[in-house]
Chains A and B, each alone.
Chain A
Amino acid sequence: MEIVVAVKPVPEAETRLRPDASHASLDPEGVKFVLAGYDESAVEQALLLKESTVGSRVRVLSFGPAPRTEEVLRAAVALGCDSATWVEHPSDLLPDAVLSARCIATAIAGPFSGLVLCGRQSGDEEGGIFAGALGALLKVPSLGYATNLRWKEPRGQLTLQRSIEGGLEEVESSLPLVVGLQQAWNDPRTAKLPNILKSRKAAIEKIPWEATVATLGPHAIPGTVRRTFRLPPPRTGAKMIRYDSPQDAAAQLVRLLREEAKVFP
């Protein structure tokens, strides 16, 4: 099976974020970029499928600027992906999810008969659009909110689970298919030291922006424009409850929720 994982470099959860001088974007200075939890679970799923299906290969793809994109691709190679492709864009371009899907679709290229995995949403913008857009562009079905993919060899079918409102459904599909993965269900592995060292030397295929522009033509311009990027206002008003017993704490909390927060009558 041919497995492609699309990942996006996002700021590590612990980094302090600041807008840059344009106030339209994040200041990347001092920010560490990593795979988000959704993407980590997509990579883990790809590796699990590879390990259980003879003759599979995992190719990791990412659309983004230097140097962060190369770093997350190397991290994915250290985890066990077989090859990596970096679809480069200039650092001042602010792509939207549809443009990202277009560029990744271009890099996948040709008649595609395999499986594309990605996070069900990006770890920073959380749009949840990418998997659907990529499916549409590749003209293959696309599913989100997925967990537990399994490949059923004799019939060439893939099964997966989706958590939907109020329940869990099991879906079966043939390939090709695009799947957006849920996070925090498969305990993504940690790369081993020798594999990290090897990944530093791994060849990374790079598709220059000019080549992507030549293929996409006018579609290489984002359809949406981000005007401003602001941090949320600092949180205020946390209130500590002082209590004598758990019953007392609960009683006080209920009173506060009723009378002050007014969340129920």
Chain B
Amino acid sequence: MPDFGLSEEQRSLQELARKFARTEMAPRAAECDRLGRFPEEVMRKAWELGLMNLNIPTEYGGSGLGLVDQCVIVEELAHACAGMTTSVIANCLALEPILLGGTPEQKQSVLTPFCSSYHLASFCLTEPGGGSDAGALQTRATRDGDHYVLDGEKCFITNGPHASLYTVFATTDPELRHKSICAFYLPRDTEGVTVGREEEKMGHRASSTSTVRFEKARIPVANRLGAEGDGFSIAMRTLDQTRTPIGALATGIAQAALDHASAYALKRHTFGKPISEHQAIQIKLANMAQDVHASRLLTWNAAWEIDHGRKGTLESSIAKCFASDAAMRVADEAIQVFGGYGYMKEYPVEKLLRDAKLAQIYEGSNEIQRIVIARELLRRYA
């Protein structure tokens, strides 16, 4: 059985992340949320401290952490601002395909210079025509000598406007669906690459999201990851790695909601006593605490499975799905504990609900997670 405690090393990573979250992220969270501002200065500082390329091995200049370590850090960051956190961890998502599908030479030549100074990368899978059904993607890769020519559009791309490198999934033949998908990486300044305007979002407003278009963009064959047709598997295995930290992100949002609600309940008086002494409020707080605790343990368990060399498909889907649904419930109840003030932008809890919503949608929607969970489950009974 796993040891549920954190090691001293993990505690010190947690402290670093907590300190960064409190001193650099939290003070800017409300302002970035209001203005939809991407805090470049926070991103740079996160990179300097080694909080950005968490999953990249140290030999390429990353932090080389396992998933439990990553989850501990991501939860702390998301406690201060989920939007900034999504942008901080987007490099892990975008570079994972290179770790999974790249040759040693590709890794050395792309990751080392990329990690040696501040750079952002984006993972380009989703298209306007669909995200969940990745096998149906329409972006075309047409072979032309020792190049591929890329045509198509990707949407909802995190850090799209700020990235200098894109990992892109495209098909050589849409009829063949999954079997024809290839994974590539290309620099943003490749001719034929255009970045759309920043999307106005409900939450995660400190994170930057845009479309990325490819019009006759030429990529050397050497920039393909794996063989032709390996792309779908690379994309899915990437999401197997990055899904669990989304559970941690949701846990951070929920913990923040619980912290705010508990502190407020002790201070706010009605009918002659603090509302924390009304049993209806206590029950809310108790339910919220259960959700937070279960989210954290499910997330650590999934991360632990994967760190121990298992696929962890079932566990990571459960963790991501449960924690993001829980974050919605907990943020919702936090607003209720705050009453009318909870509905006001001047107080921090309504943002948590808007931020939590995304965790149910991206990196595989919760409907898709439930399909995966049911499939894994039923396989065991068939």
Output the least CB separation between B381 and chain A (Å). 43
Let me know if B50 and A192 touch, CB within 8 A.
Answer: yes
A22 on the B face (CB < 8 A):
no
Chain B interface: which of A45-53, A115-123, A193-201, A235-243?
A193-201
Let me know if B58 and A193 touch, CB within 8 A.
Answer: no
B51 on the A face (CB < 8 A):
yes
Output the least CB separation between A3 and chain B (Å). 24
Q: How large is the interface on A (under 10, 10 to 19, 20 to 34, 35 or more residues)?
A: 10 to 19
Tell me the residues in window 196-213 of chain A with beta carbons closer than 8 Å to chain B beta carbons. 196-197, 199-200
A190 on the B face (CB < 8 A):
yes
Alpha-carbon gap, A71 to B50, bound state (A): 21
Q: Which residues of B contact A200 (CB under 8 A)?
A: 8-9, 12
Q: Which residues of A contact B63 (CB under 8 A)?
A: 193-194, 197
Total interface residues on B, CB under 8 Å, equals: 13
Let me know if B13 and A193 touch, CB within 8 A.
Answer: yes
B40 on the A face (CB < 8 A):
no
Let me know if A193 and B9 touch, CB within 8 A.
Answer: no
Output the least CB separation between A129 and chain B (Å). 30
Q: What's the A-B contact tally at a CB cutoff of 8 Å?
A: 32
Query: Across the two chains, which residue of chain A brings its CB closest to B54?
Result: A193
Output the least CB separation between B206 and chain A (Å). 21
A191 on the B face (CB < 8 A):
yes
Alpha-carbon gap, A24 to B242, bound state (A): 50
A74 on the B face (CB < 8 A):
yes
Q: Which residues of B contact A81 (CB under 8 A)?
A: none
A131 on the B face (CB < 8 A):
no
For the A-B complex with A75-B12, A192-B48, A196-B16 known, give 16 more contacts whose Cβ atoms are closer than 8 Å. A71-B8, A78-B12, A190-B20, A190-B49, A193-B16, A193-B51, A194-B50, A194-B58, A196-B9, A196-B12, A196-B13, A197-B9, A197-B13, A197-B63, A200-B9, A200-B12
Q: Which residues of B contact A71 (CB under 8 A)?
A: 8
Q: Which residues of B contact A193 (CB under 8 A)?
A: 13, 16, 49-51, 63
Output the least CB separation between B72 and chain A (Å). 12
Alpha-carbon gap, A223 to B19, bound state (A): 38
Output the least CB separation between B267 and chain A (Å). 14
